[in-house]
Amino acid sequence: MPPPDTLLHPYSSAIPLQPDSVFSSRFLDSVLQAIHPLSDPGTQGIRRSMLDQPRFIMAEWQMFGVVAIIIFLLFFMALIWPKLMARYTNKKIRHIVQEDLGHYHSQYDDWLCRFNPYYASLSPELKERFLHRTITFLHTKEFRFHSLSYEPYIPLLISGAAVQITFGLKNYLLDFFPVIHVIRKEYVLHMDKETYYGHVSPSGIYIAWNHFLDGYADYADAINVGLHEMAHAVSFDVFLGQCDHHDHAFRSRLEEFSEEGRPVFRAMRSGMSHLLDDYGATNFDEFWAVCVETFFEAPDTFKSQMPDLYLSIAELLNQDPLHAGHILDPELAGLA
């Protein structure tokens, strides 16, 4: 066994390791010389100090180039790529819409005329605009059916309810909601054990199909599940979704409606008689949705009994069901 504190050399006997000795210094120099031969022994100290410095796998200019490329890729993926994909998607959807309208225009027109009195009241020019928006909206959503078989007119009519509310606006796709759930009939939510005809949450728009049909079948009772839930979806979208200047302007008008509607809402809460459905007194979100139902289904009575509130909603949505052209400001609607 070698004595303690020794360094075994593979080709010699044990050599005592004495770091402070002249021998050990010369020995280390000989090892360095063997690994990195030097023509000039006087430069051994310099070469040894160079070995102690950190080494990089590439030159500094190469590292700078790699960092620049990574920064560019991050910028591209965060800002440019989404815009390119959105442009490609929009182009693809426009192509699908044109094909769809080319094949099924008369069928879609017939379904909307039969089931949606608002659409039936439009001029031929506005019908074309409404139908184009409805098909575009339809192709930007995923419709999920629960205990109900798919029928092509179901997503068409539900999309029409959304387009009806947003017909006077430039932005109408409700991008915050990519999914719409269609349930055969009323349903119970586990969170509160209450029965619902429809509701809106960040997970999607939910509509009971039988009550949706009932809402449009009786278009004078100011009760319409489709319009009610789409009114909620519109307010969700403008406050939670991405906003451009059109959405910001709509949000400002929605806040103006809130100021106009608060006194009416408080009067409803206090028990005073009113035109609106009692469910509107639940909270201000429900008040807004009930106002939208009444605005479209009972405009004459609404305007005569609550002219200021009616005018506030008309300015907010940029349309008036009692107006011959429906649209109040073509520029806000994206027509100018």
Tokens of 176: 């915050």
pLDDT interval class at 74 (50, 70, 90): confident
The answer, yes or no, to whether residue 303 has pLDDT greater than 70, is yes
pLDDT interval class at 8 (50, 70, 90): very low
pLDDT digits 0-9 by tens, 235-293: 999 988 888 888 999 999 999 999 999 999 999 999 887 899 999 999 999 999 999 99
Does residue 207 sit in helix, strand or coil?
strand
* Mean predicted confidence (pLDDT) in 305-327: 95
Tokens of 106: 């008369």
Total number of residues shown for the chain? 336
328, 250 contact by CB (below 8 A): no
pLDDT interval class at 14 (50, 70, 90): very low
pLDDT interval class at 39 (50, 70, 90): very low
Q: Which CATH homologous superfamily contains domain 106-317?
A: Glucose-regulated metallo-peptidase M90, N-terminal domain (1.10.472.150)
- Total H helices, total E strands in the chain: 13, 8
Specify the higher pLDDT residue, 148 or 94: 148
Q: How many Cα atoms occupy the beta-carbon half-sphere of 32 within 13 Å?
A: 21
* Mean predicted confidence (pLDDT) in 50-54: 54
* Mean predicted confidence (pLDDT) in 51-69: 71
CB neighbours (10 Å) of residue 92? 11
Least confident among 53-62, 70-79, 107-116, 139-148:
53-62
Least confident among 58-62, 242-246, 255-259, 316-320:
58-62
For 146, the enclosing helix (H) or strand (E) is strand 142-146
Residue 224 identity (one-letter amino acid): N
Tokens of 114: 């039969």
Residue 97, pLDDT score: 86
Q: Which of 322, 332, 273 is nearest to 300 (CA)?
A: 322
Specify the higher pLDDT residue, 53 or 116: 116
The answer, yes or no, to whether residue 298 has pLDDT greater than 90, is yes
Residue 50, pLDDT score: 52
Q: pLDDT above 70 covers what percent of the chain?
A: 79
pLDDT interval class at 1 (50, 70, 90): very low
Specify the higher pLDDT residue, 210 or 97: 210
Q: Average pLDDT, whole number, for the chain?
A: 85
pLDDT digits 0-9 by tens, 283-292: 999 999 999 9
Q: How far apart are CA 64 and CA 51, in angstroms?
A: 24
CB neighbours (10 Å) of residue 311? 13
CA angle 127, 131, 134 (to 5 degrees): 140
Whose tokens are 């310099």? That residue is 46
Rg (the chain; Cα; Å): 36
Tokens of 113: 């005329």
Alpha helices in 6-80 (DSSP H): 22-35, 44-52, 60-75
| pTM to 2 decimal places | 0.74
Q: How far apart are CA 325 and CA 319, in angstroms?
A: 8
* Mean predicted confidence (pLDDT) in 209-227: 97
Q: How far apart are CA 279 and CA 268, in angstroms?
A: 10
Output 266-271 pairs: Cβ under 8 A, ≥24 positions apart. Answer: none
CA angle 227, 318, 86 (to 5 degrees): 75
pLDDT digits 0-9 by tens, 156-192: 999 999 999 999 999 999 999 999 999 999 999 988 9
Q: Where are the domains of the chain?
A: 106-317
